């Protein structure tokens, strides 16, 4: 393989450590940091300008402002949102690049480990299980590692920005409204065990299905000759049915929890409607106009939605952890395969009295001699 083709493939030191795969990606991580801070930090502009536009519209109706004020405010709003979306594009592109690089380097190290497995290890690890680990588990691990990286900004920076804005508008109301937020995270943490067990069972079933598929394809003629085709079909259907059930349960736990987390996080809107209305009427803890009330509601809604998404993401990371634990034993120090010399020309090959055997076993073939032209 030429140097140009291998330029993107990195040899990883300590391949059984997840952090080792981040070290070659410093430039990509820097772009993710820039895009993440710019996008998530600028997201608070949305609720702010939505509130100002609502207030400006109210003032236009009351004759205290005109359409030019609305247009100027809308132009500034669009400019800010355009910048925020540019940062979002940079963040997503860099995140996708990071996931692809992690997946590529992990597969490179994993394939090298598989090639150098001993016969005993190959027998212990079925072909179907190795296929599942080399394809599905590597993808799940790379995606989980990428999500952890971007979640630092999506959860840390964005939630901090929203929470800071809410506290500035009314810190007492913010504390009341956020009483339900910890409940969503506690629930996500309590589901760690079931999520990991269900996903582990799903991965094991996928490995058995792959193994059964290979066996069914490779030995189809043999089973037909000996009249065992129907038995193998019934066995395959049984494993396929088990795989489908585990896949449904795994996907259900991955997606059905989102509405639950969202409902819990959004429960605080009841306090906002009641006490926020008092603020607008001038009988609450602070004095608001319509724009401030609109900004607070919009900001809290986005804050609660992000809380529910981050709680769900926590369960997705648990599923990725299952995949990482499955492929971790297959990672080992990189061993360079010998490469043939370039430009070597052989006109005749002479082999005499050779034997073929597995290490530690009697020769399968011996006293082989031949000559090739």
DSSP string, 239-281: HHHHHHHHHHHHHHHHHTHHHHHHHHHHTTHHHHHHHHHHHHH
Tokens linked to 24:
């070659």
Per-position DSSP letters for 54-101, written without gaps between them: HHHHHHHHTTSS-HHHHHHHHHHHHHHHHHHHHHHHHHHHHHHHHHHH
Burial 270-281 (b: 16+ CB within 10 A, else e): ebbeebbeebee
Per-position DSSP letters for 354-365, written without gaps between them: EEE--TTS--SE
Residue 299, pLDDT above cutoff 70: yes
Tens digits of residue pLDDT in 303-332: 887 777 776 676 667 677 777 777 777 777
Residue 129: its pLDDT value, please?
A: 65
Q: Which residues contact 267 (CB under 8 A, 6 or more apart)?
A: 180
Which of 81-90, 132-141, 174-183 bottoms out in mean pLDDT, i.e. has the lowest? 132-141
Beta-ladder partners of 372: 349
Rounded Cα distance, 202 and 196, in Å: 10
Share of the chain above pLDDT 90, in %: 0
Tens digits of residue pLDDT in 99-134: 888 888 888 877 777 777 776 766 666 665 666 666
Residue 245: its pLDDT value, please?
A: 84
Tens digits of residue pLDDT in 214-266: 777 777 778 777 777 788 888 888 888 888 888 777 777 666 677 777 777 77
Residue 6: its pLDDT value, please?
A: 46
Does pTM top 0.85 for this prediction?
A: no
Cβ atoms < 10 Å from Cβ of 351: 10
- What are the distances in angstroms from CA 211 to CA 59, 127, 131, 222? 70, 6, 9, 17
The helix-helix angle for 257-266 and 229-255 (nearest 10°) equals 10
Tokens linked to 147:
């999500």
Residue 5: its pLDDT value, please?
A: 43
Which SS3 state, helix, strand or coil, does residue 170 take? Answer: coil
DSSP letter assigned to residue 137: I
Residue 127: its pLDDT value, please?
A: 61
Rounded Cα distance, 301 and 30, in Å: 30
Give the model's confidence band at 135: pLDDT under 50 very low, under 70 low, under 90 confident, else very high.
low
Give the model's confidence band at 343: pLDDT under 50 very low, under 70 low, under 90 confident, else very high.
low
Rounded Cα distance, 147 and 313, in Å: 8
DSSP letter assigned to residue 33: H
Tokens linked to 293:
């009330």
Residue keyed to tokens 């997503």? 92
Residue 347: its pLDDT value, please?
A: 67
Beta-ladder partners of 354: 368
Give the model's confidence band at 4: pLDDT under 50 very low, under 70 low, under 90 confident, else very high.
very low
Residue 324: its pLDDT value, please?
A: 73
Tokens linked to 227:
């009249």
Listed residue (322, 319, 330) closest to 124, CA to CA: 330
Q: Are 68 and 103 in contact (CB under 8 A)?
A: no
Maximum C-alpha span of the chain:
105
> Average model confidence (pLDDT) for the chain?
76
Per-position DSSP letters for 88-136, written without gaps between them: HHHHHHHHHHHHHHHHHHHHHHHHHHHHT--HHHHHHS-HHHHHHIIII
Q: Tell me the average pLDDT across 297-304.
A: 82
Over the Cα atoms of the chain, what is R_g? Answer: 30
End-to-end CA distance of the chain, in Å? Answer: 27
Beta-ladder partners of 104: none
Tens digits of residue pLDDT in 61-90: 877 777 788 888 888 888 888 888 888 888
Residue 268: its pLDDT value, please?
A: 82
Q: Tell me the average pLDDT across 167-194.
A: 79
Tens digits of residue pLDDT in 5-64: 444 556 677 777 777 778 888 888 888 888 877 777 777 777 777 777 777 787 788 777
More confident residue, 300 or 329: 300
Q: How far is C-alpha 67 from the geometric centre of its chain's CA atoms?
A: 46
Residue keyed to tokens 């409607």? 273
Q: Tell me the average pLDDT across 172-192.
A: 78
- What are the distances in angstroms from CA 236 to CA 127, 128, 132, 202, 217? 16, 14, 17, 16, 11
């Amino acid at each position: 393989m030429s140097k140009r083709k291998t330029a993107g493939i990195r040899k990883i030191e300590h391949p059984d450590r997840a952090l080792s795969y981040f070290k070659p990606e410093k430039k990509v991580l820097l772009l993710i940091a820039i895009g993440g801070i710019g996008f998530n930090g600028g997201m608070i502009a949305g609720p702010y300008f939505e509130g100002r536009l609502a207030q400006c519209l109210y003032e236009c109706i009351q004759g205290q402002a005109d359409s030019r004020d609305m247009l100027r405010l809308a132009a500034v709003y669009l400019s800010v949102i355009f910048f925020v979306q540019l940062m979002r594009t940079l963040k997503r592109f860099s995140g996708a690049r990071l996931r692809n690089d992690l997946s590529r380097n992990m597969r490179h190290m994993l394939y090298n480990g598989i090639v150098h497995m001993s016969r005993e290890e190959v027998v212990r690890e079925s072909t179907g299980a190795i296929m599942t680990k080399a394809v599905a588990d590597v993808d799940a691990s790379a995606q989980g590692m990428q999500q952890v990286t971007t979640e630092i900004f999506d959860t840390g920076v964005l939630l901090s920005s929203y929470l800071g804005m809410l506290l500035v508008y009314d810190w007492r109301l913010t504390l009341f409204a956020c009483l339900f937020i910890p409940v969503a995270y506690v629930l996500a943490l309590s589901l760690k065990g079931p999520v990991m067990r269900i996903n582990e069972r799903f991965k094991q079933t996928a490995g058995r299905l792959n193994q059964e598929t290979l066996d069914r394809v490779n030995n189809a003629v043999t089973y037909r000759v000996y009249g065992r085709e129907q038995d193998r079909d019934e066995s395959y259907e049984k494993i396929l049915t088990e795989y489908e059930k585990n896949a449904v349960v795994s996907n259900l736990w991955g997606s059905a929890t989102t509405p639950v987390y969202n409902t819990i996080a959004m429960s605080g809107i009841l306090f906002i409607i009641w006490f926020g209305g008092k603020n607008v009427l001038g009988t609450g803890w602070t004095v608001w106009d319509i724009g401030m009330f609109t900004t607070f509601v919009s900001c809290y809604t986005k804050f609660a939605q992000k809380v529910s998404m981050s709680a769900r993401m926590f369960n997705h990371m648990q599923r990725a952890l299952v995949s990482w634990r499955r492929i971790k034993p297959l990672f080992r120090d990189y061993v360079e395969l010998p490469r043939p010399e370039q430009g070597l020309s052989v006109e005749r090959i002479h082999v005499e009295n050779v034997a073929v055997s597995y290490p530690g076993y009697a020769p399968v073939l011996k006293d082989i001699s031949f000559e090739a032209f």
